[in-house]
Structure 1
Amino acid sequence: MVKRFLLIALVLLTALSFGKTKIVFWQFMMDDAIAKEVLEGFSKEYPDIEIELVQLSWSTGFDKIVTAIAANAPLDVVELGNTWVANFAAQGAILPLSEQDLAKYKSFPGMNSAEYFGKYYGYPWLLGTRAMFYNVDLMTKAGLDPNNPPESWSELLEAAKKISQIPGAYGIGLPAGEVYSPWQEWFLLAVWGNNGDVVSKDLKKATLNTPQVRETAVFYQELSKYSMKSKQKDLGEAFGQGKLGFLVSGAWSIGSLAQSYPNLNFGVCFIPRPDKPTGVHASFLGGEILAIPRQCKNIEAAKKLIEYLMRPEVSMIITKHYPGVYPADPKAASDPWFDDNPLHLIFFEQLKTAYPVPPTPAWPKIEDILTNVVDDLIVSYKPVDEVLQRYNAEIQRVLDEVK
């Protein structure tokens, strides 16, 4: 009798197991403990869906995803860095969103980084950006109002001039002499804020020689006269030591500054915009995009998982573990966590005017060129027109290579 009962129970459990829909989710952001916390609600809401979670590392994850898609391996949802979306979309490796799905999320910050030639290939999940840090005490010493940090280029330039007159202080820190940071913090962001770009919308033409970029370069070169120019790490330390009035950086600096320099009196504000009606507080957009690979066998179940992960109360769980990445859903602003972390709320609001890099395969080479642009402008002080014409030609050559 006991054996018969156990046999019946085993059959029932097997039937229940076979009755579940299994989806495979490859991701970077959640370790086992966080995944358990995040997915607990999903399991209760969708007991008929089983999730196989695979955690990837940033060092090897991209190559593993490429290999899995090429091999048509079982894969239903995948987390992509936002700069990867264009690569996978161009290869037809991920599915475009339907009009119905797009309507739910098109207004979200970060949706622009899932776009490739008019179609959208993923869902913005967790986003990061840059904002401007300011030293309250230096502003006060310079006769500036720390309750009203600079909002425009002219206000920042004037404030930087005044702070640079304080012995041992610099108006602002501007990165130079390394990859990434010279254009991420803050030259290219300033170009975007001035309604310019370095590549045309169709990704075929270099646009460093446009009036918008020239105006930006002239301003940036002038601002650099009142700056400390070094690697971003060195600038972060100088800001912590009270030597810089302003510094553009990521939200990770909130915690690191508070921990390493507990006596530092600082605030955070939007990145200043150009002095024109069309000027934008533009910033750099990084983030995690949830996509559905072409080989997905359970599209409806995959969408249910994505919609669940996109909920602000769910994605905020990850934010609370990793302050510096934020939900794409604007409704997350009402989470009480931001009441206790107001500096992070500035970053969250800055996402509304954050932009991804142009979705061209030539970007890795273009960003190296932009590093040289910044160094020539603010380290060597070469003539603006000479610098922009030279490197515009270099970007054009790189673009022509990928046609």
Structure 2
Amino acid sequence: VEPSLWLPWALSPCRWNGRYYAVPWVVDTRVLFLNTSLLEAAGASQPQTFEELLRAASAVHERTGAAGFGATGADNHRLYKKILPFMWTLGGDVLDSAGRCVLASEANVRALELYAALSRTGIIDTQKQLDAAFVRGDVAFWPSGSWLIEKIERENPALQYAAVPMPGRDRSAPGISFAGGEYWAIAQKCTNPALARAFIRYMTAPGQVIAFCRRIAEAGFPARRDCFTDSSLVSNPIKRVFAEQLRTARMTPVHPRWLDIEQILENAVVDVLYGRSDAPGALVQAQMKVQALLGR
């Protein structure tokens, strides 16, 4: 692996104990989709900060009766992708640099309180149902992925919508969004590692990975620094927003117990969304559970 070739944050899942075990291939992120017709009807503008987002979502709900914001609720392996951008943007995190759980931080409490406040302006549901609600024109603001572009074109091409980077803490910079990716690795028991390496070099070469992403819209963008903003991939103005958001995107911590940590975080968010706990209490309990899980 030549680290300088790749987007820096895309390398984290490849590395363990100082060694590289995989090669990044494609990456993608989430942006904020917005229904411009509902914003116009409510007299609201495109938000650049979380506070502006809350005001705009509230205005849509109060003045039009439509849902201001789509909040993912109990939806395993998806909810964490929605709450982490709020936490990261406001200065929070799941683990600190020493691997200690910091879920109960003041920044994370503010983020969860904000997410819960946004949920009260709209709908709490699964990602699949909220994608469908946005396509129908029932939701003003909804953070989602690039697959939604094709769904809108197929099911409701008349929908008046736009996409913008995730709102920031203030207007000085866009927010941080969740990023995911696909990787190539060679199994330890591979009987022809030389051929496997040649195949990976072929699949990650600029021409091949650009052609793949151009053909498969949901594939996202090449993880290579010299390819992810290729003009053929950003001719669609909505896709261009995704490329822009990738500059301020992050991946989840690389940890062998991540799936367990993820579940604890998601359960805490659900408890707050459905009124079973407040944000400080839910995150203190979540932090204690993660600490017990990690033995620290």
TM over 0.5: yes
Partner Cα distance (2:10, 2:203) in 1? 15
Partner Cα distance (1:104, 1:181) in 2? 29
Match of 2:232, as an amino acid? P
After superposition, the Cα gap between the structure-2 partners of 1:159 and 1:312, relative to the gap in structure 1 and judged at 3 Å, is farther
Match of 2:48, as an amino acid? E
Name 1:76's counterpart in structure 2.
none
TM-score, length-normalised on structure 2? 0.89
Match of 2:290, as an amino acid? I
Per the TM alignment, residue 143 of structure 1 is displaced from its structure 2 partner at its CA by 1.3
Which of these residues, 136, 143, 153, is aligned with residue 43 of structure 2? 143
**Structure 2 counterpart SS, 1:207:** coil
Are the aligned partners of 2:50 and 2:169 in contact in 1 as well (CA < 8 Å)? Answer: yes
Which of these residues, 127, 130, 137, is aligned with residue 27 of structure 2? 127
Q: What is the CA deviation profile of residues 193-224 of structure 1, one whole-angstrom value per residue up to 9, with x for unaligned ones?
A: 22321123343x22111122122122222222
Runs of 4+ in 1 over 6 A off after TM superposition: 296-301
Match of 1:319, as an amino acid? C
Per the TM alignment, residue 338 of structure 1 is displaced from its structure 2 partner at its CA by 2.2
**Structure 2 counterpart SS, 1:125:** strand
Are the aligned partners of 2:5 and 2:226 in contact in 1 as well (CA < 8 Å)? Answer: no
Partner Cα distance (1:330, 1:133) in 2? 26
Q: What is the CA deviation profile of residues 59-102 of structure 1, one whole-angstrom value per residue up to 9, with x for unaligned ones?
A: xxxxxxxxxxxxxxxxxxxxxxxxxxxxxxxxxxxxxx4xxx22
Are the aligned partners of 1:128 and 1:285 in contact in 2 as well (CA < 8 Å)? Answer: yes
Q: What is the CA deviation profile of residues 301-337 of structure 1, one whole-angstrom value per residue up to 9, with x for unaligned ones?
A: 6555434432332112211232122211243323334
Gaps in structure 1 of 5+ consecutive residues: 1-96
Per the TM alignment, residue 117 of structure 1 is displaced from its structure 2 partner at its CA by 4.1
Larger RCO of the pair (alpha carbons < 8 Å, separation 6+): 2
Name 2:49's counterpart in structure 1.
152
Identity %: 28
Alignment of 1:268-279 (within 5 A): 268-275=163-170
Q: Does 1:334 align with 2:230?
A: yes
| Aligned length in residues | 294
Match of 1:113, as an amino acid? P
After superposition, the Cα gap between the structure-2 partners of 1:121 and 1:228, relative to the gap in structure 1 and judged at 3 Å, is same
Name 1:188's counterpart in structure 2.
84
Which of these residues, 201, 218, 240, is aligned with residue 135 of structure 2? 240
Per the TM alignment, residue 379 of structure 1 is displaced from its structure 2 partner at its CA by 1.8
**Structure 1 counterpart SS, 2:217:** coil
Match of 1:102, as an amino acid? P
Partner Cα distance (1:152, 1:383) in 2? 23
Alignment of 1:310-329 (within 5 A): 310-325=204-219, 326-329=221-224
TM-score, length-normalised on structure 1? 0.67
Gaps in structure 2 of 5+ consecutive residues: none
**Structure 2 counterpart SS, 1:178:** coil
Per the TM alignment, residue 381 of structure 1 is displaced from its structure 2 partner at its CA by 5.9
Per the TM alignment, residue 296 of structure 1 is displaced from its structure 2 partner at its CA by 6.3
